[in-house]
A and B are shown apart, each in its own frame.
Chain A
C-alpha cells in the first residue's frame, strides 16, 4: 500500500520507527541481550556502587565490565536501562490497547447512533475527561492495591476518552456519506456498517491518536514510577531509575539520572515523529 511507501520516505518517521523497533527488540530479547541476565537485572554488589563507565571488576571470580558504570546499589546500569524498557513499552502497549478497545466501541456507537446514545456517551466522556490521570491512578491503586497491572489499567482508562472523541467525530461525518446510507438501505446490520464500511475509512486519525497515546502513556508511567506509584522495586523502569538517582544530578554522576530521562524523551519523540509520519502519509494518500 502506498501509505507504507509514503511513511518510509519520511525520514523522521523512519528514524522514530527504527528507534522504537530497536527498543521493542531489546525489551523482548530481555535477559539474552543483557550483560547482567538476572531477573530485573537486580544483581546487587553494594561495595561496587557508583563506578564510572568502563570499569572492570571481579565478581565472584569472574571478570565483568560495567559498560555504563554501576548504579547506587552496585548493579550494572546498562542492564538496568535495558530491563527498564520492558515496563515503559508494555505499559504503553497495554494502555493503548485498552484505550483503543473502549474508545473505538463507545466512540463508534455514539457517532453512528447519534441522538440519546450520543448525548449519554458524550456526557460520560466529559466526566472521565475531567478526572486527572494521577487521581484516577491513585483511586485505582487504592481500590485494587499497588502494582503495575493497576497502572496499565489506570492509564488505559484515562486515555480512551481521546480515542472515543476522535472516533465519534469521524463516524458522525462518515454517517452522512452516501455509501453509508446506501448500506443502510441495503439492510446491512449496524455492526457490519460500522466495522466494515465506516471503521476502515476512519483508520487514519485513529492511528495518529494511538501513536500520540503511546507517547503519553510512556510519560505518564515514568511520572508515576518517579512518584513511587508505578512499577515496584526492584522491577526497573526508567521512571524509578531516575527516582533512585536524581539526587546525584548536581554531581559528576549526573548521567545516572540523565540517561534514563533522555531515553524516555527519545522514545516519546520517536512516537511523535512516527505519528506525524502517519498523519502526513494519510493526507497524501487521500
Chain B
C-alpha cells in the first residue's frame, strides 16, 4: 500500500534539537501512533507535519511529502484541505463566544466556498456523522453548553469538514473520562473506516494505542527508539525503554502495611449543596448536590480508594474531610471525636495528623520559596518541631528528602528546577514533615507520566508500610486504585454507589455503572483488528 503521508529524516530545532532524524509513514485507512512521555518530541513532530511550528522552531533537515492531493510548499506548510487536526483540550480549542454550528460552518465557507445555507446543511450532516445528539439543536449551542465529549465530537466534525485524507490527533482523549474516551475512540475508528482516513495518533497511553493503531513509533528525547507493527512492538518489544514503558502501567499490586479495626476517620451523612439559581426574591430554586449523603469509615493503617469520573464530587469530598470546605450537612468524626471547623485548637491538632497531597505538582509548591524553607515551615507546625533549632530542622528536612528519594542539596533549590515527578516527591515530603497518620491523596499521580507514576506509587506504598499510614486515594484511574488500595468506593453524582474490597469490586462488580467503568478501561478496549 502507498503511504498517504511520508516523513523522512525530520529534524526540528528550537534552541536545541528536539526532534532528530524521524522517519515514518501514514497509510490510508490505518492509524500510525507516536508514543512517548512528555518532552519526547511527539507533539513537536505532529506540529511540524501540520506546519504549525511556533516561530522559534524550525525544520533543520528532512522532508515531509504528501501523496495524493496533499502538497507541501517549500517552507513545510501543507497546502489545501487535505490534512487537519484534533487537539487535546476540547475546552480551549473551541471559541467560547461563537455558536458551534457557525464555527464548523466557517471553515466550510472559507475552504469550500459554500454559502450559508449549504454550509448549515453540511454541518448537520457532519454532526450526525460524529453522533452528536440532536444535531439541529446543537448547531445553535455555545461550547459551554456541551460536555467535554460532545465538544471533542464538534472538534472532530470541524476537522473532517473539508474531507481531509489525513487526520492528526494529538492526545485527543487524554482530557476526557474513561467512559467518554472509549466512545470517542470508537467514533474515530468508525470514521476512519468510512472515509479511508490516514490517522496520525499521538498518545502517552500504550493501552489506548494498542486498541486502535496498526503502526507504532516509540519516541524518547526526540528520537525514535523503536517502530513497527503495533502488535509486534507492544507484545515483543526489543528496546529496553519500550519494555519499561509497557511495564509502567500500574499492573503490579503493591502490598499494604499492618491494618487494624480501629476507626480512624468516619464520615457520617456528609453533604455539600450549592444553590445554582435563585428566583427574584433570592430564594433558591435549584440546588446542586456536589456531595450527597456520603458515609464510610477508614480504619487505622487502611488504604481506601475513591474512584469516579470528573464532576462526581470526589475531590470535594476530600476537601470536606480535611476541613478545607464546610459541609452543608453531616459530620466528620476523627478518632471518635466530631470534628468542629470552628474549634481552632482541635483543628490544629487534626491538621498535623491528616495531610493532603494534591494533583498538580506545578502549583503545589510556592514558586518563591526554597524547598528547604517550605519543609522546615511544615516541621515547625509540630509541637516537637517548634523546639528544634534551625539546624536541627534542616537535618530533619534532609532526612525527609532522602526518604522520598531526593538529595540533600535539593534543599537549597527553588521548585522551578524540578520535574513534575520530583515535585510530587517534595510535596509528599512536606506532607510527611508533620508526621501525619492519615493522608488524602487527591489524584496525586494523575499529572505524571506513566513511568514516573509507577515510581511514585511504589514510593507511596513503601512509606505507607514504614509509617503504617492510612490513606484515602482519590483517582479517576481504576488501575492506580487497584494497585495501591485495599478497599474501594465508587462514586457517581455525589453518591457512593458501590463499596467493597478491591478484589471484589474489580472482579465481580455489582452496580451497572461500575461494570461500565471497568469495561471502558483502555486495556479492555479493542477496535483494531
Contacts and interface: CB of A to CB of B under 8 A. Distances in A.
A201 B364 CA distance: 13
Contacts, number: 50
A188 interface: yes
A182 B381 contact: no
B322 interface: yes
Contact of A185 (B324, B365, B368, B369): B324
Interface residues of B, number: 27
Contacts of A184: 324
A232 interface: no
Contacts of A186: 351, 355, 377-378, 381, 430, 434
A201 B363 contact: no
Contacts of B351: 185-187
A178 B381 contact: no
Interface string B344-357: 00011001101110
B363 A187 contact: no
Given A187-B347, A188-B377, A188-B381, A182 B356 contact: yes
A247 interface: no
A45 interface: no
A197 B354 CA distance: 21
Interface in B417-456: 427, 430-431, 434
Interface in B346-397: 347-348, 351-352, 354-356, 358-360, 363-369, 377-378, 381
Nearest to B359: A178
A187 B348 contact: yes
Contacts of A178: 358-360, 363-364
A262 B85 CA distance: 56
A177 B368 CA distance: 14
B356 A181 contact: yes
A123 interface: no
A179 interface: yes
Interface in B324-356: 324, 347-348, 351-352, 354-356
A234 interface: no
Interface string A69-109: 00000000000000000000000000000000000000000
A98 to B, nearest CB: 26
A179 B366 contact: yes
Nearest to A180: B366
Nearest to B415: A179
Contacts of A201: 366-368
Interface centre among B322, B366, B367 (most CB of A within 10 A): B366
- Counting contact residues on chain A (CB < 8 A from B), the size range is 10 to 19
> Main SS of the interface on chain A?
helix
Interface in A95-149: none
A179 B363 contact: yes
B366 A185 contact: no
A183 B377 CA distance: 9
A179 B365 contact: yes
A61 interface: no
B456 to A, nearest CB: 16
B358 A181 contact: yes
A177 B434 CA distance: 21
B366 A197 contact: yes
Nearest to A179: B366
A206 to B, nearest CB: 14
Interface string B200-242: 0000000000000000000000000000000000000000000
B356 A200 contact: no
A201 B366 CA distance: 8
A181 B377 CA distance: 15
Interface in B289-330: 319, 322, 324
Contacts of B358: 178, 181-182
Contacts of A179: 363-366
Nearest to A286: B367
Contacts of B360: 178
Nearest to B431: A182
A59 B368 CA distance: 61
A185 B355 contact: yes
Contact of B324 (A177, A181, A188, A197): A181
Interface string B114-135: 0000000000000000000000
B448 to A, nearest CB: 15
Contacts of B365: 179
Given A179-B365, A201-B368, A185 B322 contact: yes
Interface in A165-200: 177-179, 181-188, 197, 200
13 contacts: A178-B359, A178-B363, A178-B364, A181-B356, A182-B427, A182-B431, A183-B366, A184-B324, A185-B356, A186-B381, A187-B348, A188-B377, A188-B381
Interface of A: 177-179, 181-188, 197, 200-201
Ranked nearest first, the 8 interchain pairs of A and B with the lowest CB-CB distance are: A187-B351, A178-B358, A178-B364, A177-B363, A200-B368, A178-B363, A179-B366, A187-B348
Interface of B: 319, 322, 324, 347-348, 351-352, 354-356, 358-360, 363-369, 377-378, 381, 427, 430-431, 434
Given A187-B381, A200-B368, A201-B368, 18 more contacts: A178-B364, A179-B364, A179-B365, A179-B366, A181-B319, A181-B324, A181-B356, A182-B358, A182-B364, A182-B427, A182-B430, A183-B366, A184-B324, A185-B351, A187-B347, A187-B351, A187-B434, A200-B366
